[in-house]
């Protein structure tokens, strides 16, 4: 699929492609992209079914990697630095494992190349049960989700996908598609016959996060370096943006 995207910086500079996480979009990365655009040309992509990109019933790492490869070909990029967070990090890893010749440097943010055991079903059900027709303001939605989604910042993040159109609230995302593909997002493709990626790789993790278990990355990314960002959880780039940018720029050549 053709993906919606935004460009930050001058196109003659070395490219960085940013891939966001599940339920997110380009808008969650604009602040970081602006800072990185001083030295790089930053392409921030909306994954299929997210942001301004089109919807499609299939969403797994094979097709999302194909979408990114299509973008790279369309932009005639010989190679690029890839930064991926969570779902976007898995897409970035699968891209590197299958198309290493297109990867200059790989940065994976708080995710590992493994299948996790949690489920998005309760979260998606909470969003689907929100009575959109009776909402008169966004604050009502936030309060009604408080019991099932206690963390205020996460509720506010999710509600960025709630749009007011002609006086009525609607979801920007298709929750049925998210529900159908939730298991694909927590999984990672089978790597039994996949050779490792020997390119330069950095895993950035939040100090208070447990998304990168010990010994979960070395077999597939043997040259990887690791950076733990203090006082941060899964949303490293949001919770500690300055430390995150420093980790990225210290790793990447200009």
Q: Tell me which residues are annotated as active site.
A: 86, 176, 234
How many other C-beta atoms can be found within 10 angstroms of the C-beta atom of residue 133? Answer: 7
| Residue showing tokens 């927590």 | 186
Alpha-carbon gap, residue 170 to 231, rounded angstroms: 35
Residue of 42, 35, 34, 38 whose CA lies nearest to 11: 42
SS3 for 133-168 is HHCCCHHHHHHHCCCCCCCHHHHHHHHHHEEEECCE
Alpha-carbon gap, residue 180 to 184, rounded angstroms: 9
Instruction: Show Cβ contacts of residue 33 under 8 Å, excluding neighbours closer than 6 positions.
Output: 6, 8, 18, 42, 44
End-to-end CA distance of the chain: 31
Reported residue count of the chain is 254
Q: How far is CA 230 from CA 10, 217, 238, 244, in A?
A: 32, 21, 13, 10
SS3 17: strand
Q: Are 67 and 61 spatial neighbours (Cβ–Cβ below 8 Å)?
A: no
């Amino acid at each position: 699929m053709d993906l919606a995207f935004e460009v930050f910086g001058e196109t003659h500079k070395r490219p960085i492609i940013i891939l966001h996480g599940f339920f997110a979009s380009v808008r969650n990365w604009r602040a970081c992209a602006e800072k990185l655009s001083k030295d790089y040309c930053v392409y921030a992509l909306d994954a299929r079914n997210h942001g301004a990109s089109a919807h499609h019933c299939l969403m797994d790492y094979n097709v999302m990697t194909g979408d990114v490869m299509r973008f790279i070909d369309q932009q005639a990029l010989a190679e690029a630095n890839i930064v991926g967070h969570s779902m976007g990090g898995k897409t970035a890893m699968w891209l590197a494992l299958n198309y290493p010749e297109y990867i200059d440097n790989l940065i994976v943010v708080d995710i590992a190349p493994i299948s996790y055991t949690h489920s998005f079903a309760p979260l998606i059900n909470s969003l689907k049960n929100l009575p959109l027709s009776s909402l008169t303001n966004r604050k009502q939605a936030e309060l009604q989700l408080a019991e099932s989604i206690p963390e205020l910042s996460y509720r506010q993040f999710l509600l960025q996908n709630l749009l007011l159109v002609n006086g009525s609230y609607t979801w920007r995302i298709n929750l049925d598609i998210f529900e159908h593909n939730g298991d694909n997002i927590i999984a990672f493709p089978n790597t039994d016959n996949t050779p490792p990626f020997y390119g330069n790789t950095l895993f950035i993790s939040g100090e208070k996060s447990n998304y990168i278990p010990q010994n979960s990355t070395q077999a597939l990314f043997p040259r990887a370096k690791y950076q733990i960002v203090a006082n941060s959880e899964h949303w490293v780039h949001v919770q500690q943006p300055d430390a995150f940018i420093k980790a990225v720029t210290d790793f990447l050549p200009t």
